[in-house]
Chain A
Amino acid sequence: MSDRLAVRKTYKLYLGGKFPRSESGRTYSVTDAKGAFVANAAWASRKDARDAVVAARGAFAGWSTATAYNRGQVLYRVAEVMEGRAAQFADEVAAGEGLSAAKARAAVDAAVDRWVWYAGWTDKLASVLGGTNPVAGPFFDFSVPEPSGVVAVLAPQRSSLLGLVSVLAPVLATGCTAVLVSSHERPLPAITLSEVLATSDVPGGVANLLTGSAAEIGPWLAEHADVDGIDLAGAGTAAMELERSAAGTLKRVLRAPAEEPDWTADPGLTRMTPFLETKTVWHPIGV
């Protein structure tokens, strides 16, 4: 086997359920933590981001109206396929983040567990965040959380898998569709996750994963009139400027923490509630 030629991979984007090259034709070299070449990744352009938003908007009607139970099943299926690819994820996390094999494996396990955890939330959100309201009048009054639409996610730059899952899964669990820009230096787990999403039951366009530079694409997503929310987890120093841009079209913004948090901590509901909007119904009793 030693005289085999190395298979040098050039990965592509995941957009609308397909794997296209970047419209711009650009790629960049991905290196491991020690600086050795690992693979080529596509460098997405603003037009790829635009196409991804169109795909996400197209998928929103189906995904947001699927029953919560069905969404939970689909997301659980993703966790199953991730588990089957655990070794590949572990290798990529170890290479990209410079972790030992054991620590990388622990990060992968945590990521799969995190995905399962969010899959379980799909049909519980309405009960926890909504419910009937006691009102002073002859009305049956209740509130339900509803997904807001297309959410742009700038994934964490350092935690390439656990961080990635921790920002993508909550968006999908709420019933929103996502356009995610992966970590620039460590995109491989995001690419493998696209392959997982494509081979599980997630409809095309529900999750769109772009590799490239969040600094380049982020402003276009923040200003885009057809993006309803943006998670600035991986925006870095540009976060303030992106918040300002997002205000122009009244987006829901999940602000970036001062520095990347410890993703192993219990996330609570804090990453789901920003992209839900509450609908309250006043129903006249007896009609």
Chain B
Amino acid sequence: MKILVAVKRVIDYNVQIRVKEDGSGIVTENVKMSTNPPDDNAIEEAVKIKEAGKATEVIAITVGEEKSQETVRKALAVGADRGIHVKADGIIEPLAVSKILQKIVEKEKPDLVFMGKQAIDDDCNQTGQMLSALLDWPQATFASKINVEEGKLKVTREIDEGLETIEINTPAIVTCDLRLNEPRYASLPNIMKAKKKPIEQLIASDLGVDINPRVQQIKVEEPPQRKAGIKVASVAELVQKLKNEAKVI
């Protein structure tokens, strides 16, 4: 069984996001980039399944600019066997990514495709679902537990009401939640070994996929700053202010 895992390079979750002065986007210069956190969980799960003897190969794939390769390299350092980098510059929307993934799935014929439930930069939460539609494969989103069985998966999903366990047939798409596992650290010897693992480089346009954005981004702005709170002397004053100033009661 082959598992394809999609990873995305995003601004590190610890970095404070800054909007460009002209509102044309966010500042990515001089900013630390990392793998999208739930994508780390996706890789970890795939590697665990392989270690349990239930998969034979884990392939990490990313779509993005030249430096996105770093995320694939990191996946290789924690146990993926080989990598694919589909080079594409600029904003690549979820539909374009899922179409690229569709092409790669047709070529690589994996049994499972894993990825994070959503990327922390655009928060779209669409790629997995769109890929599922394009391939007409079953999907399990927000997975916090995955059991691999013969020809099917038992997946526990994080849903609003609690946990839901579903069974789907493979091949399938699974998008992973942060609760799925604790990603391992890349050890120094494994980082060195990862440098020697192959990364196949492809160019998005060569795959015959139209990656032009379909959404026009008009303006990016910071959320308005919260005003400082005030202290009130008495309950009566609080009620009075809520009534007359805030007008909420």
Whether chain B is bound by chain A comes out as no
